[in-house]
Amino acid sequence: MTEQQQASVPPKGVRRPAPGPKWMATDLYTLSHLDPPTAHNSAILKSTLANSLDQDLPAIYSSRAFAKFLALQAKAIDTKHCLEVGTLGGFASIWLASENPNLKVTTLEYNPHHVEVARENIANAGLSDRITVHVGPAMETLSAVLSDIDAGRLPKFDMVYVDADKENNWNYFDAAIKGCRKGAVVIVDNVVQGGLIASEDKPIDYPEYVAGARKVIENAGKDERVTATVIQTVGEGSHDGFLFAVVK
Ligand SMILES: C[S@@+](CC[C@H](N)C(=O)[O-])C[C@H]1O[C@@H](n2cnc3c(N)ncnc32)[C@H](O)[C@@H]1O
């Protein structure tokens, strides 16, 4: 191992190592070609992030390339109804709906300030008729949404994106599947945690995030309702990854 490589190895127990310069440069290069400022939704997404920052929301939105991946995945399976758990300022929701004109998003958020900013961003994007934000702890609002699906007031989910309190990953996954159609895709973000899921190193912070990531991976592996894999990612969002499951 060279000195430079040694210097780039993060200290033990770090869940979110600083993004390597090559990861960042690669994201910037690919985004500049595949998601240029002339893209149809570029101005809306830029102002969503700027307004969220201005109103003190934490910068924990999905990375730009990953949010577009979600929107393209929704397009690939002709998603009409997508559930998002964890809205923040609405960045991923706005990506999903702005890229897919026939898609409706149901998104769940418990922080009233995040909800207020998200609704403002969604209205500015002209998407209030297709993105519905439910306020409250997601296990409670999800239960109400599932009742609406059972009663036929809402269509089943074609796609689910879980990105909230990581300790509840499995609870959201398990509950959301009950509202999914066969062939639906369920994506759970941040399940790699800088590789700590496969390490004996103790996380220096948020050990419950690592535990929540392991729990959803281990339970999904035993769950007859789905088939799943995990894809690791690096980039502006550090070293992490997502669980990708298809409902049988
Ligand atoms: C990582 S952010 C979501 C980012 C968003 N998906 C995006 O890409 O723009 C996680 C969000 O989940 C919310 N959250 C955390 N625990 C929650 C809970 N129990 N119920 C509902 N929302 C929750 C947080 O307030 C935060 O806004």
Whether residue 219 has its Cβ less than 6 Å from ligand 1:
no
Mean pLDDT in residue range 110-132: 98
* DSSP assignment of the chain: --HHHHHHSPPTT-SSPPPPHHHHHHHHHHHHHHS-TTSTTHHHHHHHHHHHHHTT--S-SPPHHHHHHHHHHHHHTT-SEEEEE--TTSHHHHHHHHH-TT-EEEEEE--HHHHHHHHHHHHHTT-TTTEEEEES-HHHHHHHHHHHHHTTSSPPEEEEEE-S-GGGHHHHHHHHHTTEEEEEEEEEE--SGGGGGG--SPPSS-HHHHHHHHHHHHHHHH-TTEEEEEEEE-STT-SEEEEEEEE-
Mean pLDDT in residue range 24-40: 95
Instruction: Encode pLDDT of 62-90 as tens digits.
Output: 999 999 999 999 999 999 999 999 999 99
Portion of the chain with pLDDT greater than 70, in percent: 96
Asked if residue 12 is part of any domain, the answer here is: no
| Residue 129 structural domain | 20-247
Asked if residue 14 is part of any domain, the answer here is: no
Asked if residue 124 is part of any domain, the answer here is: yes
CATH code for the domain in which residue 223 is found:
3.40.50.150
Asked if residue 4 is part of any domain, the answer here is: no
**pLDDT range class, residue 6, cuts 50, 70, 90:** low
Q: Tell me how many domains the chain contains.
A: 1
Whether residue 105 has its Cβ less than 6 Å from ligand 1:
no
The protein residue whose alpha carbon is closest to atom 1 in ligand 1 is: 60
Asked if residue 114 is part of any domain, the answer here is: yes
Asked if residue 7 is part of any domain, the answer here is: no
Q: Identify the pLDDT of residue 15.
A: 87
Asked if residue 8 is part of any domain, the answer here is: no
Whether residue 164 has its Cβ less than 6 Å from ligand 1:
yes
Whether residue 209 has its Cβ less than 6 Å from ligand 1:
no
Whether residue 82 has its Cβ less than 6 Å from ligand 1:
no
ipTM score of the complex? 0.99
* Pocket perturbation via mutation, ligand 1, pick of 53, 98, 135, 165 by most ligand atoms within 8 A of CB: 165
Q: Identify the pLDDT of residue 1.
A: 45
Better-scored residue on pLDDT, 205 or 72: 72
Asked if residue 44 is part of any domain, the answer here is: yes
